[in-house]
Structure 1
């Protein structure tokens, strides 16, 4: 059997050393190294979308890979691609790191400088394990498989610009088109999704924060099954408990959601913390909601600059949505695009206080009428963001999807 090996090494010298030694191993087929965690996950996702058999048997992860830390990357690969054997390559192969690597899902650890005998032994062991998993993977329903769904984060430039209404309606639009959809509330201290959808709940995202390995069954227990078909992962009722949810937890949670649902909408609120920063970094598409006024646009520009300084999202990778728009305002979408450096969605959302107020007060956002101009605009935005799956040739009708697919879906392919 030929063992396919994919090295993930950001350091050029280490990449050359590893590639040279891998080429000497018998019955192996080493691939060209990938330089960062994003490229690795994207490549594995593309291969998994074709077939389980297209995935490499072994992935080598160098300790200095980025932007996602090596152990977190190993955990995500193990969760998303359980048939791949992952080996950590590190300078400091101490017992504590070995234990942490095994807890993260690694199948072995190799110390630097590389030894031919140790490398051959670890690769053979990981490949054997991978072969066994592939043989029996179809017999278990309690694993995540496949390349995963689309993750979209929705943030507000400032409080009150309509980010939560936008997130909820995008989720409802995707669900109505026949896709499986999760709606997660990452406004951890002041999340209102439960109020907007009239939900009484016991479990929240905090219940997943301390879990090392989130299986589909554990995830399902933490979700609220809304009667619309949405799977809701809600913010805690006690805002101070939001501090229990850190970036490590979010990486696991978002990965788990991505591989259970076709579409994952995350309401990130207006305040930045390590948790929603991790979600924004992992997202396929990031939406920033603003209103066409000076204060909100300035806030949007500050938010974009903050994301750039944190190295989680570039301005040109962000889709700005203009809410409460009308043609008579002095600040128009092209000006907002120039000020913020973002891409402006073609769909603008009109002000609709009178039509929104009754459903907001009743906590029945799902009952917003199809003739509502706000709903029509937001469902059109869902089409523009490629979140809906409408049949070919379906006519544009009131309350249906009117955006074309693939116009703004932004995949992360950059290296930090």
Structure 2
């Protein structure tokens, strides 16, 4: 078996020394050294975006790498690329550093000055571990299976049920809590995220569709940084161009977003195609939005059954959200759960369209009043889904509640809370 090795060594003399030794190892395929932590992470992210199989089995991290310290860099690699074995190269072979390196996720430690025997042993052990992990994960052709960020897809049972409002508010809640957030609009023919957030930007998801190497820089060029701090990947302005976005390209795009952001919210709209199906299949959380009426619930049931037939997602792996809920409606969440066979969100969104009308018309959904019952419910849902970063202490928690509304909001709205 050939072992691919990527050295991360900042010092040119040390890099030459490491490269010389690596070239002598049997069945080794060393890559050119990367000179700093940023280059290492970007290289791994690019390779992971192509396929898990493209990642090197072993990464060597020199103790003097920068700008991120070696142990922090090892921790980031271990978290984001768990199928890569990391070996720390250091002059300090003390038990304390060895323990700290293992705690950070390293698979071994090679002491300086390097010896052929020790380096060969450490590389071989890390490579064997890497192969075992990949065998356990199962190497997909297009999807990087590392942890990365949380991907949430939001799909509407039919048009007009509040899919985009839900996606936007979930993303805003996560961003306001301090997480890095990307909001992707995969409603390719009729995406409205740009309109809801008052954005004019020429680039869209189509610009990434034909790119097989989505580097961080390429991704950055395609997204729009909103005034809220969210990264927006918009639907094409010309709906017919949505056909250029394939299932394979969506897998690569979401993998790239997941590797760069803590939370990725994807508005899938209501029209199912190969691109949207790929997003739902990849999602950590697949949210299906419906309203409590016969037509919408029947549509939700059709979508769930279609996902199951096409082996996109099982019903029990889908979370259904009831929008425009009112206690007086005949169709209640338990009945929707029985009809669709899905799990139900612990929060229902009240029927209060009047609260939304002003910000929708102005394209300023991010300025929705914190007192809005719709906002409180949706931000509460974000908390339920684990998208919101928990405050550190009581003082910050109180401030967060004032900034975000009641994130813990779980009650069902009363019949007096308006109608939408």
Using the size of structure 1 for normalisation, the TM-score is 0.66
Query: What's the offset of the Cα at 1:379?
Result: 0.4
Look up the match of 2:294: 294
Q: Equivalent residues in 2 for 1:125-144 (5 A)?
A: none
Look up the match of 1:397: 401
Look up the match of 2:142: 72
Gaps of 5+ in 2: 5-25, 29-50, 56-77, 86-102, 108-124, 411-420
Query: What's the offset of the Cα at 1:197?
Result: 0.3
C-alpha separation in 1, matches of 2:170 and 2:407: 13
Look up the match of 1:181: 181
Query: What's the offset of the Cα at 1:351?
Result: 1.3
Moved more, 293-302 or 47-56: 47-56
C-alpha separation in 1, matches of 2:233 and 2:337: 32
Query: What's the offset of the Cα at 1:404?
Result: 9.3
SS class of match (2:302): helix
SS class of match (2:277): helix
Look up the match of 1:217: 217
Look up the match of 2:40: none
Gaps of 5+ in 1: 5-25, 29-36, 81-146, 406-416
C-alpha separation in 1, matches of 2:193 and 2:171: 11
Conserved 8 A contact 2:376-2:409: no
Give the 3 Å change call, closer, same or farther, for CA 56–259 of structure 1 in structure 2: farther
Q: Equivalent residues in 2 for 1:33-44 (5 A)?
A: none
Q: Equivalent residues in 2 for 1:81-120 (5 A)?
A: none
Query: What's the offset of the Cα at 1:53?
Result: 3.0
Using the size of structure 2 for normalisation, the TM-score is 0.65
Which structure: larger Rg?
A: 2
Conserved 8 A contact 2:371-2:405: no
C-alpha separation in 2, matches of 1:327 and 1:359: 26
Look up the match of 2:319: 319
Query: What's the offset of the Cα at 1:43?
Result: 11
Q: Equivalent residues in 2 for 1:23-38 (5 A)?
A: none
Conserved 8 A contact 1:356-1:368: yes
Conserved 8 A contact 1:383-1:401: no
Give the 3 Å change call, closer, same or farther, for CA 404–51 of structure 1 in structure 2: farther
Moved more, 163-172 or 393-402: 393-402
Conserved 8 A contact 1:236-1:242: yes
Matched, 1:53 2:106: yes
Look up the match of 1:275: 275
Q: Equivalent residues in 2 for 1:16-27 (5 A)?
A: none
Tell me the number of residue pairs that the alignment of Structure 1 and Structure 2 aligns: 300
